[in-house]
A and B are shown apart, each in its own frame.
Chain A
Amino acid sequence: MINESNYESYFLNFLANALTDQEVEILMAFLKKNPELEKNLPFLNNYIVDSNKEISLNKSFLFKSLDNFNSINEDNFDEFCVAYYEKDLSSFGYEKLSNYLKLHPEKLAHFHNYGKVHINPQLDLKYPLKRELKKYSLSPFYRILYISAAAAVIFLFIYFIPTLNHVNNVNKPKFVNTDKSVSYEKLNRKNNAVIARNEKELGLATINQLKTISTNPKHFQVKLTNTRDSLPDKEINIKSINAIKINELSPSNGNETINFIADIEKRNDYKNKVSYLSFKEFLMRKLHKKIDPILPANTDEHKFTWWDLATIGVNGINKLADSKLKVERKINNEGKVIAMAFESGKFSFTRSMSK
């Protein structure tokens, strides 16, 4: 049991960290009852007992500042000099140093030497690879913009590859008289209608407009339309007929043969005669093969809709940016899009498309 006659041994054991937790508690209780003893043991104040009963030495009392020195002498002069140039000297220390230097002017050179040992950085020395260190991150808007632009370029590239590769392809559609060379065709005039006949290419066509183009009644400007049921108008692409030169026009006598000058373009029959695809169909088929992995399912081989393009774009972005964007549409029984949904990893929204 701790008491006034044996407490010193407790203190010594305490300082030697030789007390058990229980004995420390007894000691602290004893000190509470006898505060005058605690005052006689200044070292005890340098120990901190925390709530976990861990004891550690408060070392702050061991530290000395330059202010603790009563005077400057040979032994501590260097410390004062260093502290002065490190701006670590108190006003009290500064005063002491000033007085010392006044009394010992021979030490001034020594003192000033400490002022010379501060190193200036070589400011002309620059890190040469700053650009490589920098990171250029884009805002989501610009990121999507740039990726879309990249996707568009890739898309266009893929789109035009077949064109570039097939300029001289034998599958190229054939045109007739595309060189604007003059061709002579025969016209038959019957009653008030003039029947044109392109014996080689066009089959029957009717002149539905006959206009005097000069005071010379022998010159007319005409436009031909096809009358054959099997060939729609658009498939006989008559570019123009410049004029009809009527060589042997006499007052209408029922039938006469006249020559006319025409540029005739025919671009339809190749499809029937040869099993070629149209230029557009050909490109579409090529394109489908190229971008098949990112095509939406059930895409018509011969055409793209805006939805297909959007899906391709989104799939392209997913491939480039390793993202998980999705565009989906909901179609009603009539095949009309009634709603669309956009989904990313972080958010999604749905929008009704019906008016």
Chain B
Amino acid sequence: MIRILEFIVRFKEYAVLCVFIALSFLLMTFGNAAKLGGFRIVVISGIGTLQQVFAWIPNPITVASENTALRAMNYRLAREIAQTRRAVSENQQLRSLLRFRDSSDYGVRPAEIVGRIMDKSRYYLMLNAGVLDSIYTGMPVVNDLGLVGFVFSAAAHHAVVQTLLDKDTRIAAKVQRTRTNGIIAWEGGNALYLTNVAKAEDVKVGDIVVTSEYSSRYPADIPIGQVVERLDEPTTLFWTLRLQPMVHFPSLQYVFVGLEQPDAERLMVQDLLEQRLRRPQVSRSGEVLPAQRPPLLPRPARESRRGVQRDTTRDDTSGQ
């Protein structure tokens, strides 16, 4: 026993390092910071209040790009306003005739961005509205141009928004013109990628990509981005489309939170499926088999752009 103690004392730095590493892994099993509940809410409230104090300071780096984006938007809006007026009246007539119910007609709550949490490659927005303003975790966040992200966690007066520029982004989306479905993902930088688009589909540069009805988190038909490049992958049967996001994230000032929470039952069923896909199968002889795809998802796995096997059937994997 004494020898063991002597050994530990002699190599105490390594012992402490091992303890800290073990503790870190233990903490990581908690997973997402949002799962800490009350404690997290207290921290968000505190940080939100502090960021609100400093919200008056302009960010000089984004001012130039904001000006450029606003001018471009102004030009585009001026051009589109005439078309929109005509389209609105035409649309109203058609709706009354067909008794069409606008599926995207949901309530929104405006909110101001009072801070940005930039942690290496993560990009979160802090809103000045929270649970007391009927904003809850999971609600979609949009602006006048398109989809921004969703409410990651909400406190009484503040909420954190996870933007599309996040490695966990998986959104069921479609090309607006042809209704071709795919999955939106982010791989760094300011671009988004629409994957799983069959080469037989008619997709062109300039097409607008919007959220799909298959998305369990977002309402359908919210613009996400515009196709700027069609990446040909000779070894696969799919296109990967590079998109320019509709939203200019550095210059965001105000957003709208869609007062519509994701369908909890749908998310729960999706989680069960996810768990089943991840669970290893055991054969009769006791041998552990790799996770198998259930029969209701028939599409086969394909080789990704980088030659890595990727499960293409997992549409909207993180419940988005």
A and B part of one assembly: no
